């Protein structure tokens, strides 16, 4: 595929191919590998003649990042910096580079913006609308919305890759290999199990029922873009603002932690490798949680009156 071709300088293609094989062996997704490719292509094209990804110095990398500050969003700059840092560490450890040029550079600090979480009432409006439908697409879309509302919400890419055998309705759970090759188990509530059961009955009559994927479109496998488009369309029909699929993860993560779930358990459910991501998703409504908990504790009354809260 053309999108997989190396578009940096020819002198760096061997280095990229070695790194690409390493990323694939690590179980990185095609999208993740593509992100590394884009960053390293830009870095490769910025290097002066005679300097390669294997011989570049900290000065070269710093110059590339500084040039990018004028044209890239801060999040893009941080992402490219992080990917270049990961590559440099690997290249040095693997023996492709004599030194790690980014070891002396400070990481670009990432600003993790808080996401406004969806209103559960809006999700209920969409689910209620779909639950009244009896056609295949209504059954499918209802099942997807219900699944996105469960703790451990699958990413849109993961949802599109689910196979029918990932679903275990005998034990009310979904088991699959998610992003980064992490095995995940998502427990399913009664409402979601009902929606999935009705969808499976409709799916059995679909002309592509023999395909392995759980969620099917008109021509076969449903894509992550199809999931996003479906949600936008269904939200409009329900008269609510469009809810991107990833915002469901923020809502369910907030709700999980608001009800006493730990960050360690959240990391398992959501497929996060670091506590930073748990903190990021939980931060979407952390302020509201803190205010409510403080109100429940009545610290001021306890201090000023001497009475236990």
Per-residue pLDDT tens digits for 166-217: 999 999 999 999 887 889 999 999 999 999 999 999 999 999 999 999 999 9
Give the pLDDT band (50/70/90) at residue 27: confident
Looking at the predicted structure, is the pLDDT value of residue 280 above 70? no
pLDDT value at residue 261: 82
> What is the pLDDT of the chain when averaged over all its residues?
89
Among 246, 268, 285, the domain boundary falls at 246
| Residue 254 included in any domain | no
Among 216, 246, 276, the domain boundary falls at 246
| Residue 207 included in any domain | yes
The model's pTM: 0.67
Q: Are residues 97 and 140 in the same domain?
A: no
| Residue 112 included in any domain | no
Q: Are residues 46 and 144 in the same domain?
A: no
pLDDT value at residue 181: 82
Looking at the predicted structure, is the pLDDT value of residue 133 above 80? yes
CA distance 121 to 242: 13
Lowest pLDDT segment from 177-181, 244-248, 276-280, 282-286: 282-286
Q: Are residues 90 and 207 in the same domain?
A: no
CA distance 57 to 105: 11
Q: Are residues 160 and 95 in the same domain?
A: no
Q: Are residues 175 and 203 in the same domain?
A: yes
Contacts of residue 85, defined as CB under 8 A and 6 or more positions apart, other chains included, come to: 102, 105, 107
pLDDT value at residue 3: 47
Among 191, 224, 246, the domain boundary falls at 246
Contacts of residue 306, defined as CB under 8 A and 6 or more positions apart, other chains included, come to: none
CA distance 195 to 190: 9
For a pLDDT cut of 90, what percent of the chain falls above it?
69
Q: Are residues 77 and 137 in the same domain?
A: no
pLDDT value at residue 225: 93
Q: Are residues 240 and 143 in the same domain?
A: yes
Looking at the predicted structure, is the pLDDT value of residue 1 above 50? no
Q: Which domain holds residue 100?
A: 2-104
Q: Are residues 20 and 126 in the same domain?
A: no
Give the pLDDT band (50/70/90) at residue 109: confident
Looking at the predicted structure, is the pLDDT value of residue 111 above 70? no
Query: Of 301, 282, 278, 302, which Cα lies nearest the Cα of 290?
Result: 282
> Which residue would you say has higher pLDDT here, 17 or 285?
17
Looking at the predicted structure, is the pLDDT value of residue 141 above 90? yes
CATH number (domain holding residue 24): 1.10.150
| Residue 257 included in any domain | no
Looking at the predicted structure, is the pLDDT value of residue 153 above 70? yes
178 in Cβ contact with 296 (< 8 Å): no
């Amino acid at each position: 595929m053309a999108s997989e071709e190396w578009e940096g300088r020819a002198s760096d293609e061997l280095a990229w191919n070695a790194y690409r094989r390493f990323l694939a062996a690590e179980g990185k997704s095609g999208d993740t590998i593509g992100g590394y490719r884009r960053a390293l292509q830009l870095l490769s094209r910025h290097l002066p003649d005679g300097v390669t990804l294997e011989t570049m110095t900290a000065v070269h990398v710093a110059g590339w990042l500084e040039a990018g500050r004028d044209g890239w969003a801060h999040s893009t700059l941080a992402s490219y910096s992080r990917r270049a840092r990961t590559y440099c560490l690997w290249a040095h450890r693997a023996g492709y580079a004599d030194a790690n040029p980014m070891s002396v550079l400070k990481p670009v600090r990432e600003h993790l913006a808080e996401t406004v979480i969806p209103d559960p009432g809006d999700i209920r409006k969409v689910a209620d609308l779909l639950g009244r439908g009896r056609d295949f697409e209504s059954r499918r879309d209802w099942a997807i919305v219900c699944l996105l509302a469960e703790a451990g919400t699958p990413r849109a890419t993961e949802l599109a890759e689910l196979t029918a055998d990932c679903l275990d309705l005998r034990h009310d759970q979904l088991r699959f290999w998610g992003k980064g090759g992490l095995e995940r188990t998502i427990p399913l509530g009664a409402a979601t199990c009902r929606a999935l059961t009705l969808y499976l009955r409709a799916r059995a009559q679909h002309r592509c029922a023999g395909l392995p994927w759980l969620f099917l479109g008109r021509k076969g496998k449903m894509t992550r873009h199809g999931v996003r488009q479906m949600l936008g369309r269904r939200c409009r029909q329900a008269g609510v603002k469009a809810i991107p699929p990833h915002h469901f993860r923020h809502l369910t993560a907030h709700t999980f932690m608001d009800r006493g779930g730990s960050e360690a358990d959240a990391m398992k459910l959501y497929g996060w490798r670091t506590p930073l991501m748990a903190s990021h998703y939980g931060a979407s409504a952390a302020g509201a949680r803190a205010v409510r908990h403080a109100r429940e504790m009545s610290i001021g009354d306890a201090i000023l009156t001497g009475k236990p809260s």
